[in-house]
Homo-oligomer: A and B are copies of this chain.
Amino acid sequence: MGRPDKKPGSVAKIIPLGGLDAIGKNMTVFECDGDIILDDAGLMFPDDDHPGIDLILPDYTYVLQNAHRLKGIFITHGHEDHTGSLPYLYKDLDRPVPIYGTKLTLGLIEGKFAEHRIKNAKLVEVKPGDKVKLGCIEAEFFAVNHSIPGAVGIFYQTPAGNILHTGDFKLDQTPVDGVNTDFAALSRFNRIGVDLLLSDSTNSMNRTFTPSEAEVGKVLGPIIAQAKGRVIVASFASHIHRLQQICDAAVASGRKVVVTGRSMIQNTEIARRLGYLRIDDENLVDAYDLKGIPPEKIVVMCTGSQGEPLSALSRIAGGSHKTVGIEEGDTVIISATPVPGNEKSVTRIVNMLAKVGADVYDKRRAMVHVSGHASAEELKLLLSIVRPVHFMPVHGEAVHLRAHAKLAEETGVRREDIYILENGESLELSDKGVRFGETVQSGVVFVDGNSVGDTSQTVLDDRASLGAEGFAVVAAAVSMGQRKLQGRVQVEMRGITGGDDPYLLEDAEGAATATLRRQLSGSTSPKDMRRAVRDTLLSLLWERTKQRPMVVVSILDV
């Protein structure tokens, strides 16, 4: 296993802090002989398991504990699942650690940092082909195709061996911006020797090839050209290639483009300023200047492809958008796929649009969206070009990582050289090969309102229970000295079926009063008294409503 270029005794550590339990919050630590690089710093958007939570961050305690050794942060591309925890991490670090990324990646990070009022950021632009040496780790950035421009993979050369991280990628032979995944670089890395490959597993369960982004343009063009009324296209705001194709199709059909939705406005502005999105000023119309332009002369490019209730598309569909209306005969294109968990919200909007009489196109009807991630044949192709000694699938749920591991085995990686990790586990690479290292602290941190990390599982469990069954409150004043009830017992219910029924309330108050009186006549402690009242109310509610809501009992000693 040893290679002559390796320094005996050197050890490189690979510690994923996120990205291996879900598609989201990617963050991996690379270490070598004391130097640390952080590769990506993403977040994840919460689902039904996390009621009320705004954002989910990976637990990066390990990075903070070793912050003095952190030489730099490398960001592979500008998607939030690779950049989103940067503002939080940056606020927790006591110095501006340099962040390396391509122009668009940094442009998007700058936008986020401005929102968070972070002013001391140290952003260092890199181009594909650039090498950055931090401590004993040399990183070479190379171009990959993905659903955002400026995406790169990173080849790490260390005294302990070489590690290739693909980043998120696909192998698009007809990329919209002309930038191919750099096969020459991959072949070169193979010649240099890839001791460990970390590769994107998102689409490892999809057979064959992911279609080229250019195929979407071929579909969008005719739809927009043949549309009679307004055309409204919802897409991901960061999908600049898609936006380019929408703009091109609009201009080719003699339509002006109207951009609406906060992140869509922000991202098109950044992408145009940095030269990633090309459309003439004369073909862009401000949403407030729409008056006088006939519907058949515009294409609205908007947010809301995930059915977000406050997004531009939702407001358009519901008739509450300030400037963009919708009417029978208009065309709506959902140029995106619902992220798992968002299917219902998207369905809701599609139906609202259908009822207005809009002609709705989504992925089912025409190829108005393709993925930005490589499918099985592409993943195998990459493995064949790179020929890694060891393999670690990343960026996916358990099932994707395992499917990817199988593909690697099929291309010739030995089963014992494939490592499926959990977040927080680590690998150690040295001239002796690869082995499991120590496990470090990992997990998730919830962002809820302006609190980061203070939301406990108990809070989430309480929310889940309240959301399903509601609650009842009992308030009673007693004199513990005289062991006497003072005044009336009050019961209130919220979120309980029948909770507004005056007879049920009356019975509940009666039952609670009777229990309290019984408890007071003995020598029960306040705590036991609360429990007895709670049990009484739960029995009554179960009997009457077959529901078991949360019950909070306040006993005031007056």
**Interface of chain A residues 486 through 535 with chain B (CB within 8 A):** 486-488, 490, 492, 494-501
Could you give, for residues 451-474 of chain A, a 1 whenever the CB lies within 8 Å of some chain B CB and a 0 otherwise? 100111011001110111111010
**Interface of chain A residues 158 through 187 with chain B (CB within 8 A):** none
Q: How far is the CA of A49 from the CA of B402 in the complex (A)?
A: 34
Q: A351-B399, A365-B205, A458-B500 are in contact. Are A545 and B466 (CB under 8 A)?
A: no
User: Which of A72-80, A83-91, A224-232, A549-557 sits within the interface?
Assistant: A549-557
B494 x A449 contact (CB < 8 A): no
B554 x A492 contact (CB < 8 A): yes
Q: Which of B52, B341, B449 contacts A495 (CB 8 A)?
A: B52
A448 within 8 A of B: yes
B494 x A455 contact (CB < 8 A): no
Q: A475-B556, A556-B490 are in contact. Are A545 and B351 (CB under 8 A)?
A: no
Q: Which residue of B lies closest to A345 (CB)?
A: B48
A4 within 8 A of B: no
Q: How far is the CA of A401 from the CA of B351 in the complex (A)?
A: 10
Q: Which residue of B lies closest to A348 (CB)?
A: B49
CB distance from A459 to the nearest CB of B (A): 6
Q: Which of B448, B498, B550 contacts A454 (CB 8 A)?
A: B498
Q: Which residue of B lies closest to A365 (CB)?
A: B205
Q: How far is the CA of A352 from the CA of B475 in the complex (A)?
A: 44
**Interface of chain A residues 385 through 441 with chain B (CB within 8 A):** 397-399, 401-403
- Residues of the B chain whose Cβ atoms lie less than 8 Å from the Cβ of A67: none
Chain A binding surface SS class: mixed
* Identical copies in the complex: 2
A558 x B477 contact (CB < 8 A): yes
Q: How far is the CA of A537 from the CA of B488 in the complex (A)?
A: 24
Q: Which of B51, B205, B365, B398 contacts A355 (CB 8 A)?
A: B398
A545 x B205 contact (CB < 8 A): no
CB distance from A338 to the nearest CB of B (A): 9
A467 x B473 contact (CB < 8 A): no
- Residues of the B chain whose Cβ atoms lie less than 8 Å from the Cβ of A547: 52, 448-449
A343 within 8 A of B: yes
Q: How far is the CA of A476 from the CA of B476 in the complex (A)?
A: 9
Q: Which residue of B lies closest to A487 (CB)?
A: B558
A354 within 8 A of B: yes
A546 within 8 A of B: yes
Q: A398-B351, A475-B554 are in contact. Are A463 and B467 (CB under 8 A)?
A: yes
- Residues of the B chain whose Cβ atoms lie less than 8 Å from the Cβ of A492: 552, 554
Which A residues form the contact surface with B (CB < 8 A)?
47-49, 51-52, 205-207, 340-341, 343-344, 347, 350-355, 357, 360, 364-365, 397-399, 401-403, 446, 448-451, 454-456, 458-459, 462-464, 466-471, 473, 475-477, 486-488, 490, 492, 494-501, 545-547, 550, 552, 554, 556-558
* 5 extra A-B contacts, CB within 8 A, seeds A341-B343, A351-B399, A486-B556: A354-B398, A354-B401, A355-B398, A446-B497, A473-B552
